[in-house]
Structure 1
Amino acid sequence: MDQQLEVFIKVVEKKNFSKAAEELHMTQPAVSQYIRSLEESTGVKLLERTNKYVRLNKAGEIVFHHALEIKELYAKMNHLLDDLTNKASGSIAIGASYTFGEYLLPAIIAEAKEQYPDIKPTVTIGNTTTIAALVLNHQLDVGIVEGHFKGVKELKTEPFAKDRMVIVAPANHPLTERENPILIKELTEETWILRELGSGTREAAEAVFEKFELSPQAIMHFSSTQPIKAMVEAGIGISLLSEWAIQKELKYGDIKVLNVKEMPYTRDFSIVTRSPFQTKALSEFLKLLKNHKEVTDFKVE
């Protein structure tokens, strides 16, 4: 990687020339010279400097953002070259939306570490929109998401498994005792407790409402699944959730699945990548992901 950019990144991260010099095992004048050379080559001033602080100006923000991308791409290039002769090893930056990340990914990571002890996975959990954006910006090597995102031609999306979604209610809800199937339109007056906009689970709920022309009279929303389950258990309302997310609650009888005629609703789990090249570590992880027993229970045909 270009030494000027490496020094620039370190100065920005440390917010101090002397601390950056110490980290890079260089003299402070040498660090200053690298920054001057970078500013001369770009033709713009990148840092605001006083005796008290060093901070980015607008041009500096642009250079810093792209310098981080260049650093990630440079590291990925070296991993790919190493993989031509070496075994699967090195870092994998994995992103996952909440349902997959919280309820399926931990077991897959454990299996990957057992089979490939030299890989170093890091995991980011976020909603589908967030994970897709991080993959697009090279901050993640791969994303595992539910739902869809539009207008991002640079990303490759590969559905690899199905997820079944059901409507859940408090264990003592009157409808849990009904033998005949419930019509989804009977749930209009219920309070629906949903995920936030931008999440795959919320997208699924909106798709169900549109498909069956359902207009709930009351909606509450939360940014993760755990508080939704707690609210349902407490009798506040009902929700549409993945079967994977409610295994423990069903086992202990804390909540129940309503026998709704139009359910379950199915959606895809998808793998999202940007680069056509994969490190050996990432390639082996994806093979393991696609063949993991829990995932293959709901395999895409």
Structure 2
Amino acid sequence: MPLGPRVPELGALELLLAIARTGSLNAAAREVGVTQQGASSRLSAMEAQTGVQLVLRTARGSSLTPAGVVVAEWAARLVDVAEQLDAGLAALRDDRRSRVRVSASLTVAEHLLPGWLVSLQTEGRRRGTPIAEVVLTATNSEHVLAQVLAGAADLGFVEAPGSLRGVRSRVVGHDELVVVVRVDHPWVRRRRPVSAVELSTTGLVSREEGSGTREALSRALTATLGTGTVQVLPALVLSTTSAVRSAVQAGAGPAVLSELSVADDLASGRLARVTVADLDLRRQLRAVWVGPPQPPAGAVRDLVTHVVSQKPKAYNRRL
């Protein structure tokens, strides 16, 4: 139930306790950090609010009335609890600055976040500011959102283009999906690009449902071919990007993966990139959190601000 209108504020109760300790309104005023006039006004307002005379003021000093002694005993317990609350909140604020739980999609966790953290540490050492400890969970975009919404993660990074209901978000970069095959695949030798229809009717090596990469491909095909598009079932479903790459190299079939994740394979000739006609496979990478429009103050905001300031070349190479 709500408190009644006659319950004094904590500041007034602290003044009452200071009067009990010092026996002087002037000394109590100095202790709580107000002027003598301010202390006198606060005491008068508290007595008017409670309807109880709490202090006797004489030329020799100030003392509590019998009722004031009882109220001071109650106030001491209340102020003690408030001090514990204040200390606990301070500890939580410090923890938010010294430690941040991050949940990131596999693409971000494997290919971007390590670089972000290294550059953040370098900048912190240069400025002489403490660096937050990052506790990282790598999973798919769907699980990232679930963890952020459940409070299991302070900050998430996703590549999912779908609904972000219940969370705040900010674009931190861009990525592009590419179709990759083994170097001896028939698609490598053909002169014309693979069509979006052909891609949708080919069994691909794919990540699991809930993966941002898989969802981005589905949305891109729907945008090109229409809402009635039916994508055939994957030839093989695997839970990590590394496993998908290995399966493609083994000849399991084509795959659609982040350009970031296959850059080395393409450069070394382990995989070949295939052009797809009329299919926009660009996507946004987003930081997500729960709460106000701006990221929460502390380690979360520091990390998001740093990531946004980086603007890695890999994001914008094809945009």
Q: TM-score, normalised by structure 2?
A: 0.62
- Superposed, 1:68-87 pairs within 5 Å as 77-78=89-90, 81-82=93-94
SS of 1:166's equivalent in the other structure is strand
For residue 44 of structure 1, what is the aligned residue in structure 2?
A: none
Determine what percentage of the aligned residue pairs are the same residue: 25
Question: Does the aligned pair in 1 maintain the 2:173–2:311 contact within 8 Å?
Answer: no
User: What is the deviation of 1:165?
Assistant: 0.8
Cα separation, partners in 2 of 1:82 and 1:91, compared to 1, 3 Å: closer
- Which of the residues 239, 251, 267 maps onto 1:251? 267
User: What is the deviation of 1:278?
Assistant: 2.0
Q: Which runs of 5+ in 2 are unaligned?
A: 1-85, 125-129
- Which of the residues 184, 188, 191 maps onto 1:176? 188
Question: Does the aligned pair in 2 maintain the 1:96–1:123 contact within 8 Å?
Answer: yes
Letter in 1 for 2:98: G
User: What is the deviation of 1:75?
Assistant: 10
> Larger deviation: 104-113 or 289-298?
289-298
User: What is the deviation of 1:284?
Assistant: 1.9
- Superposed, 1:170-249 pairs within 5 Å as 170-187=182-199, 190-211=202-223, 212=225, 213=229, 215-216=231-232, 218-249=234-265
User: What is the deviation of 1:82?
Assistant: 4.9
For residue 277 of structure 2, what is the aligned residue in structure 1?
A: 261
Query: 1-side partners of 2:268 and 2:136: how far apart?
Result: 29
Question: Does the aligned pair in 1 maintain the 2:260–2:314 contact within 8 Å?
Answer: no
Greater Rg over alpha carbons, structure? 2
For residue 272 of structure 1, what is the aligned residue in structure 2?
A: 288
Cα RMSD of the aligned pairs, angstroms, is 2.9
Cα separation, partners in 2 of 1:75 and 1:255, compared to 1, 3 Å: farther
Q: TM-score, normalised by structure 1?
A: 0.66
Q: Deviations over 1:123-172 (max 9, x none)?
A: 1111111111111122211101011454733x112223221111111111
Query: 2-side partners of 1:132 and 1:115: how far apart?
Result: 29
Runs of 4 or more, structure 1, over 4 Å off, are: 74-77, 79-83
- Which of the residues 98, 101, 106 maps onto 2:106? 98
For residue 294 of structure 1, what is the aligned residue in structure 2?
A: 312
Query: 1-side partners of 2:261 and 2:91: how far apart?
Result: 35
Letter in 1 for 2:187: L
Q: Deviations over 1:8-48 (max 9, x none)?
A: xxxxxxxxxxxxxxxxxxxxxxxxxxxxxxxxxxxxxxxxx
Cα separation, partners in 2 of 1:252 and 1:280, compared to 1, 3 Å: same
Aligned length: 222
**Residues 1:285 and 2:303 aligned together:** yes
Query: 1-side partners of 2:103 and 2:233: how far apart?
Result: 34
Query: 2-side partners of 1:293 and 1:283: how far apart?
Result: 17
Query: 2-side partners of 1:296 and 1:287: how far apart?
Result: 18
